[in-house]
Chains A and B, each alone.
Chain A
Amino acid sequence: MLEFPRWKVWLIGIVIALGVLLSIPSLIGGTPLAGSWPKWLPQYKISLGLDLAGGSHLLLEADAADAQKQRLQAMEDSVSTELRRDPRIDIGDISTAGGRLSFMVRNPSQVDAAVERMRNLTKPVALTGNRDWDVSVVDSTRVVLTPTASGTAQALKDAMGVARDVVRRRIDPSGTKEITVITEGGNRILVEVPGVEDPEALKRLIGQTARLEFKLVDLSANPQDVQQGRAPPGSQVLPMADGTGFMAVKRRVMVSGDQLTDAKQSFDQDGRPDISITFNTTGARRFARTTQENVNKPFAIILDDKILSAPNINEPILGGRASINGGFTVQSAHDLAVSLASGKLPVKLNFIEERTVSAELGQDSIHKGVIASVVGVVGIIIFMLITYGRFGVYANIALLVNAFLILGIMAMFNATLTLPGIAGFILTIGAAVDANVLINERIREELHRGRRMIDAVETGYHEAFRAIFDANVTHVISAGIMAYFGSGPVRGFAVVLLIGVVTSVFTAVYFTRMLVALWIRRARPRALHI
């Protein structure tokens, strides 16, 4: 018991000093003292969860139906482009009904060639041995492309990766903010933005797919049919964005938002907000050619399958620039410009969970949490002192050291402190003295049994350790399960409990044992007052 080698004392001392050193930047953060912390000392800091710092947590889920629709549309575009190339194959009655893409080959002798060229459009899916589309022929002239399950899964995975990057660019065009954008569970994206004042602006930015398309208006369509949703072959009926009815447009895309290099909010000659866009070389060339061929005909500007406007082509547009009008406010034009510039979302994202906390409420929680922690710690310190005297003092020193160690370790791993985490902290402090209670009660007991002082202390530490260990394993099990299943704030609670269990065994057992040993060696007391 009394043999406590010097190197052990040093080791324990160093661990404690490190804990204190690592925890200080987090403790003085946000106070006037923050600036006076020397630069050459460690700067690790605990990050605050959104429930304390204020901010928005948004969970987005890919719209499966929309993902399928977009994939079919993209395939339709590549099929049309492919078959228009030499040797051209004339097709008709192209349809995406029933989740499959099908078309009729006009010349029956070209069916085999068409199938061959379709096969070349499909791609193998990595690791599965399947291709992403099945190509088959029905009724001898109709070619059917059916998406395969592995192809759909792969497409979703790719789309989620792109969507994640697009979301990040939209929220943080400059790439400087501390935001979290991660994919979760294959079809979800978790967005966490600290310190956000208006989550609605955030939602508007992310919520828009921003698929921009320019298509020619189909003037041959019968207006009555169009209002009932029937379009001539090769055309489709789309609603007007302002809700004023429907319009038939050619299925073929003149030019799309993929071919943009820039989009900015500006004003038209009447001072109304609009968006000016710049096409890349391919886009500019296609736009120029189509407008040249269709002077004096209207074309539709379509955003997310809604027609914003359908201006007339007065003259060919050759410079690769255009402006989009659509009854915007400055704010909505700006939001749309950001969305267009960051690229379209490859799949529509739905909000399935939102949690926003204002910075004021977060600050209030921190304030109350800190006060409760201090009062709780003082209460326990007084209680331990009047119950165990000198041994209570040791337990209390261990308790304070434990608090520093928990904060220090959290800072080192840059763990996130959440509001339940503060509760976990207080709880850990309250429970950490349990180990000392066990030890001290055991020492009292052994003294009553007539053991000599040093022997009693030795036995007390030795016998109590088994129960301390078993009891702490039960905490580790429940906290570990909580960390695994829990989300955000609850995980923060579990992390504090887990760290606290480990540090409290160190401080309450090894550290107090050292204090007691050093005291007995130095003071050589005749009796223990415990």
Chain B
Amino acid sequence: MKLLKLVPDHTNVDFMRWRNLALMLSIIATVASISYTVYRGLNLGIDFVGGQLVRAEFARPVPIEELRARVDSLGVGEASIQALDKNNRTYQIRLPRPPGPETASNAVVSKVRKLIPQQYPGARIDAGESVSGKVSEELAGDSAKAIAFAMIGIAIYIWFRFEWQFGVGALVTLGHDIAMTLGFFAITQLPVDLNVVAAFLTIVGYSLNDTVVIYDRIRENLRKYRKMSILPLLNLSLNETLARTVVTSLTVLIALGVLMLIGPEVIFGLAIAIFLGVIIGTYSSIYISVPTLVWLGVKPDSFLKSDEKEQAEAQPA
């Protein structure tokens, strides 16, 4: 049987040749992504701003305007209603956090839960959520903290295992990946809920996966080819790991693509965020994490101990 080779043997792509161009584009994309996110804002789910979410399934198709009018007549704020299927039988109703005490939020869900079976016999409430202002603030704070801690924790680990330049490179790479994924959520206005934060944390772990493999190879080559100058050495390392980078990203994308297309829609946001994060992470592991090493001055002797370094200087080969 002839085996599939997605990447031919002995590739010799000069990745580093385009590093400045890639950097320019990445900086522009990152800045654009962050500014757009700030300008447009994220569609934050009730987990982070409080409010109510009710998901209902009706026995018969129901026109969205009629449902909206009925929910609005409850006087619990302006409802945002979204059909979850094509034949208008499953709806998601989102309501803003009502003014007043912390408990007001919960009472609204009770009202909607009462209204729907009354007005539509045979309808079923599939899910009801209410999050008060206090809880949503805590969840938002915890999520931001978790993402920051994960990024810093991983960067510190890389620093210990490699050199400080690699730690910085990892941090910059992670910042880029998170910024780009945020931009995607700002453009599509897909709701950002706790699951999406879990996806961001996963991206932090997985996007570095590729970077770590490439860094590991750079470290190995730096020790092996001490006389090689840095740019060819980075190119060599990237080419040597290219097949693995492509194959691994593909297996993860197969798994997530399936989850995204036919998996439960409740976790669509999680699936698409990780899917996208893997693609962005593959790019950034090549064009962000590696060029950063050049700018931070990683040299062929970076992994020599200081006495070895002196020796190397004393006896130029």
From B217, B243, B256, contact of A426 by CB (8 A) = B256
Q: Binary interface profile of A, 422-433, with partner B (CB < 8 Å = 1, else 0)?
A: 110011011101
Note all chain A residues with C-beta closer than 8 A to B132.
351-353
Q: Binary interface profile of A, 378-404, with partner B (CB < 8 Å = 1, else 0)?
A: 011001101111000000000000000
Q: Are B213 and A477 closer than 8 Å at their CB atoms?
A: no
Give Cα distance in the complex from A494 to B150, angstroms. Answer: 13
Note all chain B residues with C-beta closer than 8 A to A423.
259, 263, 267, 270-271
Which of A131-139, A225-233, A319-327, A363-371 faces chain B? A363-371
Which of B32-40, B103-111, B292-300 faces chain A? B103-111
The reply to whether the CB of B208 lies closer than 8 angstroms to some CB of chain A is yes
Note all chain B residues with C-beta closer than 8 A to A355.
127-129
Note all chain B residues with C-beta closer than 8 A to A199.
113, 128
Give Cα distance in the complex from A485 to B240, angstroms. Answer: 38
Which of A170-178, A271-279, A437-445 faces chain B? A437-445
Note all chain B residues with C-beta closer than 8 A to A494.
198, 201
Note all chain B residues with C-beta closer than 8 A to A163.
none
Q: Are B208 and A474 closer than 8 Å at their CB atoms?
A: yes
Shortest CB distance B89–A (Å):
13
Which of A213-221, A244-252, A285-293, A465-473 faces chain B? A465-473
Note all chain A residues with C-beta closer than 8 A to B314.
none
The reply to whether the CB of A59 lies closer than 8 angstroms to some CB of chain B is yes
A443-479 residues with Cβ-Cβ distance < 8 A to B are 444-445, 448, 463, 466-467, 470-471, 473-475, 477-479
The reply to whether the CB of B258 lies closer than 8 angstroms to some CB of chain A is yes
Give Cα distance in the complex from A448 to B10, angstroms. Answer: 9
Give Cα distance in the complex from A387 to B2, angstroms. Answer: 9
Note all chain B residues with C-beta closer than 8 A to A473.
157
Q: Are A430 and B134 closer than 8 Å at their CB atoms?
A: no
**Known pairs A420-B270, A427-B202, A437-B244; A386 contacts B259 (CB<8 A):** no
Note all chain B residues with C-beta closer than 8 A to A467.
212-213, 216-217
Q: Are B262 and A375 closer than 8 Å at their CB atoms?
A: yes
Q: Binary interface profile of A, 322-334, with partner B (CB < 8 Å = 1, else 0)?
A: 0000000000000
Shortest CB distance B133–A (Å):
9
Note all chain B residues with C-beta closer than 8 A to A489.
194-195
Shortest CB distance B49–A (Å):
13
Note all chain A residues with C-beta closer than 8 A to B263.
368-369, 372, 422-423, 426
**Known pairs A376-B258, A475-B209; A482 contacts B9 (CB<8 A):** no
Instruction: Identify the closest chain A residue to B253 (Cβ).
Output: A430
The reply to whether the CB of A356 lies closer than 8 angstroms to some CB of chain B is yes
The reply to whether the CB of B250 lies closer than 8 angstroms to some CB of chain A is yes
Give Cα distance in the complex from A426 to B202, angstroms. Answer: 13
Note all chain B residues with C-beta closer than 8 A to A430.
251-256
Which of B64-72, B138-146, B227-235 faces chain A? B138-146
Tell which of B150, B157, B265 has the most Cβ of chain A within 10 Å: B150
Shortest CB distance B174–A (Å):
10
Give Cα distance in the complex from A467 to B219, angstroms. Answer: 11
The reply to whether the CB of A311 lies closer than 8 angstroms to some CB of chain B is no
Instruction: Identify the closest chain B residue to A354 (Cβ).
Output: B130
From B102, B139, B256, contact of A61 by CB (8 A) = B102
Instruction: Identify the closest chain A residue to B109 (Cβ).
Output: A354
Q: Are A360 and B254 closer than 8 Å at their CB atoms?
A: no
From B10, B113, B130, contact of A351 by CB (8 A) = B130
Tell which of A61, A357, A360, A430 has the most Cβ of chain B within 10 Å: A430
From A369, A481, A484, contact of B264 by CB (8 A) = A369
Give Cα distance in the complex from A434 to B253, angstroms. Answer: 12
Q: Are B262 and A354 closer than 8 Å at their CB atoms?
A: no
The reply to whether the CB of B176 lies closer than 8 angstroms to some CB of chain A is no
B10-43 residues with Cβ-Cβ distance < 8 A to A are 10
The reply to whether the CB of A31 lies closer than 8 angstroms to some CB of chain B is no
Note all chain B residues with C-beta closer than 8 A to A482.
146, 150, 198, 201-202
Inter-chain CB contacts under 8 Å: number: 237
Give Cα distance in the complex from A365 to B126, angstroms. Answer: 12
Q: Are B256 and A481 closer than 8 Å at their CB atoms?
A: no
Give Cα distance in the complex from A470 to B212, angstroms. Answer: 7
Shortest CB distance B160–A (Å):
10
Note all chain B residues with C-beta closer than 8 A to A364.
264
The reply to whether the CB of B308 lies closer than 8 angstroms to some CB of chain A is no
**How many residues from B make CB contacts under 8 Å with A?**
82
Tell which of A353, A376, A470, A484 has the most Cβ of chain B within 10 Å: A353
Q: Are A352 and B102 closer than 8 Å at their CB atoms?
A: yes
The reply to whether the CB of A493 lies closer than 8 angstroms to some CB of chain B is yes
Instruction: Identify the closest chain B residue to A59 (Cβ).
Output: B135
The reply to whether the CB of A341 lies closer than 8 angstroms to some CB of chain B is no
Q: Are A388 and B106 closer than 8 Å at their CB atoms?
A: no
Give Cα distance in the complex from A489 to B269, angstroms. Answer: 14
Note all chain A residues with C-beta closer than 8 A to B5.
387
Q: Binary interface profile of A, 406-430, with partner B (CB < 8 Å = 1, else 0)?
A: 0000000000000110110011011
Shortest CB distance B134–A (Å):
6
The reply to whether the CB of B153 lies closer than 8 angstroms to some CB of chain A is yes
Note all chain A residues with C-beta closer than 8 A to B248.
431, 433-434, 437-438
Shortest CB distance B84–A (Å):
11
From B128, B146, B255, contact of A429 by CB (8 A) = B255
Note all chain B residues with C-beta closer than 8 A to A444.
9, 243
Shortest CB distance B260–A (Å):
9
Instruction: Identify the closest chain B residue to A473 (Cβ).
Output: B157
Shortest CB distance B55–A (Å):
7
The reply to whether the CB of B114 lies closer than 8 angstroms to some CB of chain A is yes
**Known pairs A351-B106, A423-B270; A474 contacts B216 (CB<8 A):** no
Q: Are A474 and B126 closer than 8 Å at their CB atoms?
A: no
Q: Are A380 and B259 closer than 8 Å at their CB atoms?
A: no
Give Cα distance in the complex from A388 to B248, angstroms. Answer: 13
Instruction: Identify the closest chain B residue to A501 (Cβ).
Output: B205
Give Cα distance in the complex from A505 to B3, angstroms. Answer: 25
Q: Are B153 and A481 closer than 8 Å at their CB atoms?
A: yes
From A357, A433, A493, contact of B198 by CB (8 A) = A493
**Known pairs A387-B6, A423-B263, A427-B255; A497 contacts B146 (CB<8 A):** no
Give Cα distance in the complex from A379 to B149, angstroms. Answer: 35
Note all chain B residues with C-beta closer than 8 A to A479.
201-202, 205
Give Cα distance in the complex from A369 to B260, angstroms. Answer: 11
The reply to whether the CB of B247 lies closer than 8 angstroms to some CB of chain A is yes
Note all chain B residues with C-beta closer than 8 A to A470.
158, 161, 212, 215-216
Tell which of B134, B217, B258, B270 has the most Cβ of chain A within 10 Å: B258
The reply to whether the CB of B76 lies closer than 8 angstroms to some CB of chain A is no
Of the A-B pairs whose beta carbons lie under 8 Å apart in the complex, a sample of 12, sorted by A's number, is: A351-B106, A357-B126, A368-B265, A371-B262, A379-B255, A420-B195, A427-B202, A467-B217, A475-B205, A475-B209, A482-B150, A482-B201
Residues on B lying within 8 angstroms of A by beta carbon are 1, 3-6, 9-10, 55, 57, 101-103, 105-106, 109-110, 113-114, 124-132, 134-135, 139, 142-143, 145-146, 149-150, 153-154, 157-158, 161, 194-195, 197-198, 201-202, 204-206, 208-209, 212-213, 215-217, 220, 240-241, 243-244, 247-248, 250-256, 258-259, 262-267, 270-271, 274
What 12 additional pairs, Cβ within 8 angstroms, besides A371-B262, A441-B244, A474-B212? A51-B266, A355-B127, A356-B128, A360-B57, A380-B254, A380-B255, A419-B267, A430-B255, A431-B248, A471-B212, A477-B150, A485-B149
